Structure 1
Amino acid sequence: MKRKAIVIGSGIAGIAAAIRLSVKGHQVVVFEANAYPGGKLSEFNLGGYRFDAGPSLFTLPEEIDQLFTLCGENSKDHFEYLKLPVACHYFWEDGKNLKAFSDIHLFAEEVETKLGEPAIHVKRALEHSDYIYKHLSPLFMHRSLHKWSTWTNPEALRSYLKMGKLGIFKTMNAANSSLFQHPKLVQLFNRYATYNGSDPYQTPATLNIIPHLEFNIGAFFPKKGMHDITLSLFKLAKRQGVEFHFESKVNEILVDSGKAIGVRVCEEEYFADVIINNMDMVNAYKTILKKEKQPKKLLNQPKSSSALIFYWGIKKEFKELDLHNILFSNDYKREFEHIFKLGTIYDDPTVYINITSVYKKDDAPEGCMNWFTMINVPNNQGQDWDKMIAEAREKIIAKINRTLNTDIEPFIEVEEILEPRTIESKTSSAQGSLYGNSSNNKYAAFLRHANFSSEIQNLYFCGGSVHPGGGIPLCLLSAKIMTEMID
């Protein structure tokens, strides 16, 4: 008789967990509060434009390919993607701009030509990023930090003596300032702290592992858009026999004698051998686990940054823009002080513009573009968001106009807004934070919830709010780590 598993939430980690459990022989049922799968990785249409609502960067595609392989399928038959020739296009208001070519030699030449920074500095920085990845990814990305076997395996033992070189004792900004001469290149590499909602002036330099993913391995784009990651894996899970229930909010995880035995959905009770929580860890303890012992130290950790996103249908094509574009602030340090210390939005925010219609033409009408226009903002602490959003919109438009020498407002045909309050209400992310607890100290990796409960048997956790962290690749790895613990 098959063992039963219940997954709470159909975020990308929840779907991946369901697939992996089904491969292991479990009968899997997924309960999702929304009417659609994917969590943050969803989409919507507005006035002839299609938008990917959430994550816009795609790295480590092999983690998705592996799920198809586990099921005996070829991912290319169901999910297609391409490697980007340019990972991102960077702009500054003084007219400087850089194309982050995926070819490291081309990128290094671009930096030397436009900024005067020796090309060798870029190559050495990316070699160091590769070094960090080789020593830390087996420890922090592919294993539980809450099992003794992780710390006693040979890979871990080899890494202990290299902790200084791996950046644990420096901030990201300090490390990058020693690697590069030009402040614009320091700013560019500091930006990678935002990939998990952190502050480069506080977070440890171990996060310099991230450029390795984007440059040495590559940045990619699903040919049907980011939401196709969700749809492809959702369909794979269905083919595996996973049962999904939408608009089915779990009200409680049922615990008996220290064991998770099922869930309550409305007034119905469903029982299983294992329960997997893909809901944000903080909100899960506040709601569906409120009767159980609370991990107060973890719950009280500072949260990551959030986002303010304007989805704009633009009645014009800007040939200078690529899929990923960054319009940098003139004072990066001050911007992060506003986000993490003052809890507000800086007057000159860094603006990220993602335009999928560059590669997927049917995402916008002919001659138009779909702009996913985002700035990093503090998480929700009760600020006057209506006022802050209105002011930020003016500042963002002014920033775009100055940088691109345009007047963007007349070209905005349609608009939708996503902000910390709606991020929290739609995805159950505590305070609207995008990545759970922040990584603004060297112990942050150890202050994420484990992929299992130490208090309740048969209860497991996956998703961006638990180990190893947020973002598509880490969410997929959280599902992998978790399912390897079961049975």
Structure 2
Amino acid sequence: MKQKSIIIGAGIAGIAAAIRLAVKGYLVDVYEANSYPGGKLSEITLKGYRFDAGPSLFTLPEQVEELFLLAGKNPSDHFEYSKLDVACHYFWEDGKSIKAYGDVNAFAEEVNTKLGEPSENIRKALRSSAYIYEHLAPLFMHRSLHQWNTWVNPQALRSYLKMGKLGIFETMNAANERLFQQDKTVQLFNRYATYNGSNPYETPATLNIIPHLEFNIGAFFPKKGMHDITQSLYQLALDLGVRFHFNAKVEEILVENDQAVGIKVNQNEVKSDLVINNMDMVNAYKTILKKQKQPKKLLEQPKSSSALIFYWGIKKVFPELDLHNILFSDDYKEEFHHIFEKNAIYQDPTVYINITSVHKKDDAPEECMNWFTMINVPNNQGQDWDVLIKEARKNIISKINRILKTDLEPLIEVEQILEPRTIESKTSSANGALYGNSSNNKYAAFLRHANYSSKLKKLYFCGGSVHPGGGIPLCLLSAKIMTELIKK
């Protein structure tokens, strides 16, 4: 007789966990509070425009492909993507701009020509990033940090001897200032701290692992948009017999004799042999696990940054813009000081514009573009968001006008906003933080919740708020680590 498992939350990690458990022979039921799967990795349609609502950068596509292979399917029959020739287009207020080409040598020459940074510095930075990845990815990304065999295997022991070279003991900014000659190059590489909602002036240089993913391995784009990651994996889960229950907000994880035995949903008790929580860890303990012993130190950790996103339908095509675009602040350090120290939004924020219609033409009407326009903001601490959003919108449009030499306001024909309060209400992310606890100290990797409960048997965790962290690849890996622990 097959064992039963319940997954709370149909975020991308929850879907991946459902696929892995179904392949292992479990009966899987997924309970989701929203009416749709994917969590943050969803989509919005507005009057002829389509927007990927959440994560917009796609790296490590093999993590998606692996799930199809596990199910005995050819990934390319169900999910297609292509490698980007240009990872991102960067702009500054002084008129300078560069294209971050996917080819490392082309990127190095571009930075040298446009910014005056020696090409070899770029190559050296990316070799260093690859080195960090080589020694830390097997340890931190693919294994549980909460099992002794992670720390005593030969690969881990070799990594201990190289900790000084892995960026543990200095900040990302300090490492980048030491390596690069030009302030703009430092700023460009400091930006990778934002990929998990951190501050480059505080987070360890270990996070310089991220450029390796984007340049040495590559940045990609799903041919049907980012939401196709959700849709293709959701369909795979259905094909494997996974049952999804939408508009089904779990009220409690049922516990008997220190063991998770099921859930309470819609006033009904549903029993199972395993319970997997894909809900944000902090909000899970505050709600569905509120009767259980609380991991206070974890719950009190500072949270990552959040986001303010304007989904704009733009009645014009800007040929100078690519899929990913960054309009940098003139004072990056002050911008992060506002986010993490003042819990406010700097008047000159760095603006990210994602335009999927560059590659997927039907995402916008003819001669139009779909702008996913985002800035990093603090998580929700009770600020007056209505005032902050109004002021930020004005500053964002002013910055775009200056850099692109345009008048944007009359070109905006549709608009929808996502901000920390609605991020929290739609995705149960504590304080609207995008990545759970922040990584603004060198011990942050060790301060994430394990992929299992140390107090309650048969209770497991996956998703961006637990190990190994936030972002699509790490969420998928959290599901992998978690199911491997179940096997053990």
Which band: TM-score by shorter chain? Answer: over 0.9
C-alpha distance in structure 2 between counterparts of 1:44 and 1:436, whole Å:
24
Listed one character per residue, the Cα deviations across residues 158-209 of structure 1 (whole Å, up to 9, x for unaligned) are 0001101000000000000011000000000000000000000000000000
Deviation at 1:225, TM superposition (A): 0.4
Residue 144 (structure 2) aligns with? 144
- Which amino acid is 2:362 matched to? D
Counterpart secondary structure, 2:376? strand
Mapping 1:132-171, distance limit 5 Å: 132-171=132-171
Partner of residue 216, structure 1: 216
d(CA) in 2 for partners of 1:313, 1:414: 5
CA distance in structure 2 between the partners assigned to 1:211 and 1:87 by the alignment: 11
The superposition leaves residues 280-339 of structure 1 with CA deviations (integer Å, 9 ceiling, x where unpaired) of 000000000000000000000000000000000000000000000000000000000000
Q: Which amino acid aligns with 2:344?
A: T
Q: Deviations over 1:110-132 (max 9, x none)?
A: 01111111100000000000000
1:41-440 to 2 correspondences below 5 Å = 41-440=41-440
One-letter amino acid of the structure 1 residue matched with residue 126 of structure 2: L
Partner residue in 1 for 2:476 = 476
Which secondary structure state, in structure 2, belongs to the residue aligned with residue 165 of structure 1?
Answer: helix
Secondary structure, aligned partner of 1:309: strand
For residue 266 of structure 1, report the CA deviation from its aligned partner.
1.4
Mapped pair 1:452 → 2:428: no
* Distance in structure 2 (CA, Å) of the matches to 1:243 and 1:266: 17
TM-score (norm 2): 1.00
- Unmatched segments (≥5 aa) in structure 1: none
Structure 1 distance, partners of 2:200, 2:56, is 21
The one-character-per-residue Cα deviations of 1:82-129 (angstroms, maximum 9, x if unpaired) are 000000000001000010000000000001111111100000000000
Give per-residue Cα distances to partners, 1:1-30, cap 9 Å, x unaligned: 101100000000000000000111101000
- SS of residue in 2 equivalent to 1:370: strand
Aligned to 1:6: 6
Find the aligned partners of 1:191 and 1:162 in 2 and give their Cα distance: 25
Alpha-carbon separation, structure 2, partners of 1:421 and 1:145: 32
State the distance in 1 between where 2:193 and 2:146 align: 24
2:231 counterpart letter in structure 1? L
CA distance in 1, matches of 2:77, 2:383: 47
Cα distance in 1 between the residues matched to 2:17 and 2:441: 29
Question: Letter of the aligned partner of 2:214 in structure 1?
Answer: E
> What secondary structure does 2:173 align onto?
helix
Q: In structure 1, what is the Cα distance between the partners aligned to 2:347 and 2:262?
A: 49
> What is the distance in 2 between the residues matched to 1:307 and 1:111?
28
Distance in 2, matches of 1:115 and 1:314, equals 30
SS of residue matched to 1:322: coil
Match of 1:319, SS?
A: coil
State the SS of the aligned residue for 1:372. Answer: strand
Shift of the alpha carbon at 1:386? 0.2
- Which residue identity does 1:112 align to in structure 2? N
Where do 5+ consecutive residues of structure 2 fail to align?
A: none
**C-alpha distance in structure 2 between counterparts of 1:471 and 1:118, whole Å:** 31
Q: Deviations over 1:246-285 (max 9, x none)?
A: 0001000000000000000011111111100000000000
State the alpha-carbon separation in 2 of the partners of residues 96 and 155 from structure 1. Answer: 44
Q: Distance in 2 between matches of 1:267 and 1:110?
A: 60
Deviation per residue, 1:218-258 (Å, 9 max, x gap): 00000000000000000000000001000001000000000
- For 2:338, the aligned partner's letter is H
SS at match of 1:316: coil
Quote the Cα distance in structure 2 between the aligned partners of 1:64 and 1:417. 29
Report deviation, 1:347: 0.5
Q: Matched residues, percent identical?
A: 77
TM-score relative to the length of structure 1: 1.00
- Equivalents in 1 of 2:247, 2:22: separation in Å? 22
Q: Secondary structure at the match of 2:221?
A: strand
CA distance in 1, matches of 2:159, 2:149: 15
1:486 match: secondary structure: helix
Two-structure CA RMSD over aligned residues (Å): 0.4
Point out the more displaced range, 403-412 or 364-373.
Answer: 403-412
What whole-Å deviation, never above 9, does each CA across 1:379-419 have from its counterpart, x for those lacking one?
Answer: 00000000000000000000101111111111000000000
Q: 2:425 is matched by which residue type in structure 1?
A: S
Q: Work out the CA distance in 2 between the residues paired with 1:444 and 1:117.
A: 32
Partners of 2:245 and 2:451 lie apart in 1 by 23
**Counterparts of 1:259 and 1:377 in 2: how far apart (Å)?**
39
Pairwise CA distance, 1:441: 0.1
* Structure 1 Cα separation of the partners of residues 146 and 362 of structure 2: 46
Matched residue count: 487
Aligned-partner SS, 2:453: coil
Displacement of 1:156 after TM fit? 0.3
Question: Per-residue deviation at 1:47?
Answer: 1.1
* Mapped partners of 1:283, 1:418: distance in 2: 19
User: Aligned partners of 1:48 and 1:113: how far apart in 2?
Assistant: 40
Q: CA deviation at 1:439?
A: 0.1
CA–CA distance in structure 1, aligned partners of residues 408 and 191 of structure 2 = 25
Q: Distance in 2 between matches of 1:441 and 1:79?
A: 37
Q: Secondary structure at the match of 1:410?
A: helix
Partner of 2:30, secondary structure, is: strand
User: Per the alignment, in what secondary structure is the counterpart of residue 396 of structure 1?
Assistant: helix
Distance in 1 (CA, whole Å) between partners of 2:173 and 2:97 is 21
1:233 partner SS: helix
| 2:315 counterpart letter in structure 1 | K
Q: Counterparts of 1:486 and 1:377 in 2: how far apart (Å)?
A: 37
Deviations 1:65-93 (A, max 9, x none): 00000000011001000000000000001
Equivalents in 2 of 1:280, 1:345: separation in Å? Answer: 25
